[in-house]
Amino acid sequence: MLMPRRLLGALLLATALLGRGEVVPLSFDSASRAVGEVARALGGPGRGLLDPYPALAAPFLFLLRHLPPEWRTGIIRWGMSISLGSPLGSFQGIAPEDPLRDYLRRYPPGPYPAVVLGDPSGGTAHLAALLGVPLLPPCYLLGVRHRISPDDTRSYVRQGLALGEMLGPREGFEVVIHYDPIHDRDLVARAALVRVRFTSLPRIYREFIREHLRPGGTIVLAEDRYSWPQVELLPGIWLQVGGLGAIPPEEYTRRYPLPGEPRIRRESEWGTPEGFSQAVEEFAVESGYRLIRIAENHPEGFSRLAFRAYRAAGARLGLVILDCFTSMDARFCRRTGIAPLHLVFNTADSFSFALEELQRIHPRKIYLLLHPSFSPPPDLVPFARWREALGGNLEPLVDEDLWPQDPYAPFYAAARLAELEARYALETDLSLGVEALRSLLP
């Protein structure tokens, strides 16, 4: 699911990519951000929270935050209308595996003791970073630029179908047209979001693993079984309306009826396709790699596991950082030993998850890094509720007076994280071995 929390990142990233001929995944998507965070924690290039933002954007965004809210939103929407996504014709001739190269070239050459494949959530990204190994998601996101009403389902689907058919016969992959007119109202009006999901193990992933994984190394399969109703429009091209949050599927289908009989399938953004999981297992056996299979029914399961892994690795007691969606910094957590409890979104379900988990550990200090939003959805939790629930233990890493509509939020948070890293930097980055991870599993 694409949330409006991504809108500013979408604007700035797309502006930076104008004129580039190569098709790359939209880097405000969870999978691309997860890869970027893990690669940076492993010593690869990247700017962390600021990755989707041009360096020269900081002074502009600082000034923008002081404009009246309707002006800020108007400027962002205008920018999105001319920069978000790419024209349909720019995707002509691409092979489905081509955009994955953008993931692979971010990682240092290794060799690595393990590699993680599957769920692209922040929890899995934190886990892979702590292990010191690459994360290879089963999907990436593309955007077809358009200008429509956010409730114009027919036009949205038409654009998505055109891109899906352009990718050729669906052999080893599928296409999911992801439409969320409640959470992503501004976004869907300006781009049709199409997620390419692999139902087999891509050839370039196989080559990367053989080249960079040590002989006899371990493949960790992070299989996320989170599901959502989807309708098959053409062979291998599916439509998903809505996605993870506090709004149930029934509410979406009531307001936006599906054009056919839905099937409950692995959710577009988080779910790991069954065929991908099976192919990973078969590849591990035939190639002589050990396999650790971790199956969860919700991406929050990987958040819990990553937090436990940090505690097992010797994380600082009494300190925790709640990061959210793509607003995270995996390198920061390794370098400081501050354990992350990752929230999938800013919504009410993630709020409940956070409170339940925090009651188990009773930290003395909670650093809260929420994701901004320029079109707050109805299930977004106001900052005042976080303040009320966490009380004196809370130290926000966002400007609570301007949140959630703060265009400068990533730069504000990055500066706060830098201050904390200088205060809490460890002599050696925190790490966890593969066998220690195995001991944490049932």
252-272: pLDDT as tens digits: 999 999 999 999 999 999 999
Amino acid (one-letter) located at 286: E
**302 within domain boundaries:** yes
- Nearest 5°: the CA angle 231, 142, 20 is 165
**27 within domain boundaries:** yes
Give CA separation, 12 vs 108, 137, 311, 384, in Å: 26, 24, 36, 29
User: Which comes out higher in pLDDT, residue 5 or 400?
Assistant: 400
Per residue in 136-174, pLDDT (tens digit) is 999 999 999 999 999 999 999 999 999 999 998 889 999
d(Cα 151, Cα 182) in Å, to the nearest integer? 9
Percent of the chain with pLDDT over 70: 95
- 111: cis peptide before it, omega within 30°? yes
d(Cα 143, Cα 91) in Å, to the nearest integer? 10
Per residue in 66-117, pLDDT (tens digit) is 888 888 778 877 767 776 788 999 999 999 999 999 999 999 998 999 999 9
Domain that holds residue 88: 4-314
**231 within domain boundaries:** yes
Per residue in 173-220, pLDDT (tens digit) is 999 999 999 988 888 999 999 999 999 999 999 999 999 999 999 999
| Model pTM score | 0.94
**161 within domain boundaries:** yes
Q: What is the pLDDT of residue 20?
A: 44
**328 within domain boundaries:** no
Torsion, Cα 319 325 331 333, to 10 degrees, reads: 10
DSSP alpha helices (H): ranges in 84-143?
100-104, 122-131
Judge residue 256's burial from the number of C-beta atoms within 10 Å of its C-beta, 0-12 exposed, 13-18 middle, 19 or more buried. middle
d(Cα 396, Cα 403) in Å, to the nearest integer? 11
Amino acid (one-letter) located at 139: C
**248 within domain boundaries:** yes
* Residue 216 host element (H or E): strand 213-224
3-state secondary structure of 66: coil
**220 within domain boundaries:** yes
User: Which comes out higher in pLDDT, residue 289 or 189?
Assistant: 289
Per residue in 361-382, pLDDT (tens digit) is 999 999 999 998 888 899 999 9
Per residue in 302-331, pLDDT (tens digit) is 999 999 999 999 999 999 999 999 999 999
Q: Is 1's pLDDT higher than 50?
A: no
User: What's the structural domain count of the chain?
Assistant: 1
Q: How sure is the predictor about 19, in pLDDT bands with cuts at 50, 70 and 90? A: very low
Q: How sure is the predictor about 21, in pLDDT bands with cuts at 50, 70 and 90? A: low
**334 within domain boundaries:** no
3-state secondary structure of 192: strand
Average pLDDT over residues 383-387: 96
